[in-house]
Amino acid sequence: MNRFEGRKVLVTGAGSGIGQATVARILEEGGIVAAADVNEAGLEVTKARAEEAGTAGRLSVTTVDISSEDSVRESIGGVIDNLGGLQVLINAAGILRSSHTADTTLDFWNTVIGVNLTGTFLVTRQALPALLDSGKGVVVNFSSTSAHFAHPYMAAYAASKGGIRSFTHAIALEYAKQGLRAVAVEPGSIASGMTSNPGFPTEGVDPSLIGKLYPWIGDGFAPPEDVAGVIAMLASDDGKFVTGTEIRIDGGTHM
């Protein structure tokens, strides 16, 4: 399939996990991809994998701190200028932090909200003019199953992902008549750097509460590539009638 041939795509969080897998999938399908992440070493791995696959000629990488307005303006603005436009934005960047809510500091809360929710807003705002100019722009945001279901010790994370879900609905309607589609994916039970070390508190954790967060199908947590395939569908013309909604990808964890 070459569903992205000639299309210019920006993927944040591209240095690991689902973002990295999404870059590989869209390159495989012919896309011109700009990969952005705060982690330079991770971006080098993304680039090396593209070189091995023979797709590196359509890949560029850039470092960005999505929680910083100045960094987004400079880095993401520069990426879009270099690409000469943008048709697809995939906001995969995010962090997972855990704590007892009663012990959560304001700095902890603001860090999670700042990266996940504010970062998604800043990158989307920077990209919107180019996406709208394309006449058929697509935004794929990363919400989470925690936006709908109780995930203990993740109050800040859940709040940030719930905000992303609502933000996605709002821009989907606001810009629908200008050809923009906005969709949220809600991954759960996916194997990645984020989920392999969620940083649960070392004391006072009830294992029975965490035990409910496992899928009913498959052999445990799914690889990031399983989410990348869904993203590719949503961002391509195969998803042209999908907007203002969310797709849960969790192996039945929350049936």
Domains of the chain: 8-249 (3.40.50.720)
Once rounded to an integer, what is the mean pLDDT over residues 144-173? 94
Question: pLDDT > 70: what percent of the chain?
Answer: 93
3-state secondary structure of 249: strand
- Residues forming the active site: 157
Question: Residue 30: which region, alpha, beta or left (left: phi > 0; alpha: psi -120 to 50)?
Answer: left
Alpha helix ranges (H) inside 63-192: 69-71, 77-83, 106-113, 119-134, 155-174
Choose among 234, 200, 115: nearest CA to 164: 115
Once rounded to an integer, what is the mean pLDDT over residues 59-86? 98
Between CA 143 and CA 154 the distance in angstroms is 14
Between CA 187 and CA 209 the distance in angstroms is 19
Pairing mode of beta strands 8-12, 88-91 = parallel
Q: List the beta bridge partners of residue 233.
A: none
Q: What pLDDT does residue 211 have?
A: 61
Which two three-digit tokens encode residue 110? Answer: 């603001």
Residue 201 pLDDT more than 70? no
Complete edge-to-edge strand list for the sheet that includes strand 59-63: 59-63, 32-37, 8-12, 88-91, 138-142, 181-187, 245-249
Question: At 212, is the pLDDT very low, low, confident or very high (cuts 50, 70, 90)?
Answer: low
Q: What pLDDT does residue 197 have?
A: 60
Between CA 150 and CA 254 the distance in angstroms is 10
Residue 207 pLDDT more than 80? no
pTM of the model: 0.93
The angle formed by the CA atoms of residues 200, 206 and 210, to the nearest 5 degrees, is 65
